[in-house]
Amino acid sequence: MPIGDVLAGKVALITGANRGIGFAISRRLGQMGALISICGRDQGKLNRAVATLRGEGITILETQADVVRADQISSLIQKTQHELGPIDILVNNAGTGVFGPFHEFGENDWNTVMDTNLKSVFLACRAVAPEMIRRQTGHIINISSLAGKNTFARGAIYCASKWGLMGLSGCMAEDLRGYGIRVSVICPGSVATEFAGQGGKDHSKMLQPEDIAHAVAALVTQTPESFISEVHIRPTRKP
């Protein structure tokens, strides 16, 4: 059931939202009254996510889309605007990673991670920016990682993509703030999702998807005269 109407009438688009962090963000913003648009590549998982959220009284639109395809991003934006209205909040959550010694990976591995974690954000932000500029309002939130601030063995390609995302986010914030558009980036530590895998970590001590959704809720309820540019989230106890 909705828990408030602080975002009533606002349209929020969340990428990679059929599970995990993206699903939790969609639920939280929907509970706050926002009209939700989600996308993902797996139609079955999209259908299950939509069924759950609609069952909770959330208005939601789903689109099967590959966020590394400019044409599919364009269609996603147009469908969202046509069905729900202009996009007020864009959350770039879709992501992937490969882990191991950098010299053991091929060019395809590099391209897959960079396209999903970095190129997709550029494409989505480029697609929503003109309308946000015209309306002189909007909030873009990019889900990065503490791997975008730190390096570690076996994480070269993933870290490179997230460091790039930090740079892209900072520059976009400067490009758009004069139009009243806020760009924020969230850097979580390890989150207990399918992406985290097993890895020998205690999932009960890891961050939960709802922790990231809470941070997003805080960002979008900031007063219009200011914005939080960067958030770091760590578990209280190391997993």
Q: Say yes or no to pLDDT of 196 above 60.
A: no
Q: List pLDDT tens digits, range 36-59.
A: 999 999 999 999 999 999 999 999
The pLDDT of 152-166, averaged and rounded, is 97
Q: Binning pLDDT at 50, 70 and 90, where does residue 167 land? A: very high
User: What pLDDT was estimated at residue 1?
Assistant: 41
Tell me which of 32, 73, 123, 158 is the catalytic residue. Answer: 158
Which one-letter amino acid corresponds to residue 103?
H
User: What pLDDT was estimated at residue 3?
Assistant: 61
Of the candidates 222, 136, 132, 140, which has an alpha carbon nearest to the alpha carbon of residue 179?
Answer: 136
Q: Is residue 158 among the annotated active site residues?
A: yes
| 3 state SS for the chain | CCCCCCCCCCEEEECCCCCHHHHHHHHHHHHCCCEEEEEECCHHHHHHHHHHHHHCCCCEEEEECCCCCHHHHHHHHHHHHHHCCCCCEEEECCCCCCCCCHHHCCHHHHHHHHHHHHHHHHHHHHHHHHHHHHHCCEEEEEECCHHHCCCCCCCHHHHHHHHHHHHHHHHHHHHHHHHCEEEEEEEECCECCCCCCCCCCCHHHCECHHHHHHHHHHHHCCCCCCCCCEEEECCCCCC
User: What pLDDT was estimated at residue 139?
Assistant: 98
Q: List pLDDT tens digits, range 66-98.
A: 999 999 999 999 999 999 999 999 999 999 999
Query: Measuring CA to CA, how many Å separate 222 from each of 105, 128, 215, 218?
Result: 42, 21, 11, 7
User: What pLDDT was estimated at residue 15?
Assistant: 98
For all residues of the chain together, what is the average pLDDT? 94
Q: Say yes or no to pLDDT of 219 above 90.
A: yes
Q: Binning pLDDT at 50, 70 and 90, where does residue 4 land? A: confident
Phi, psi of 87 (to 5 degrees): -80, 120
Q: Quick one: what percent of the chain has pLDDT higher than 90?
A: 90
Q: List pLDDT tens digits, range 197-207.
A: 545 677 778 99
User: What pLDDT was estimated at residue 204?
Assistant: 79
- Rounded CA-CA distance 237/235 in Å is 5
- 11-233 carries CATH number 3.40.50.10490: no
The pLDDT of 146-169, averaged and rounded, is 97
The pLDDT of 142-147, averaged and rounded, is 97
pTM to 2 decimal places = 0.95
- Rounded CA-CA distance 91/124 in Å is 9
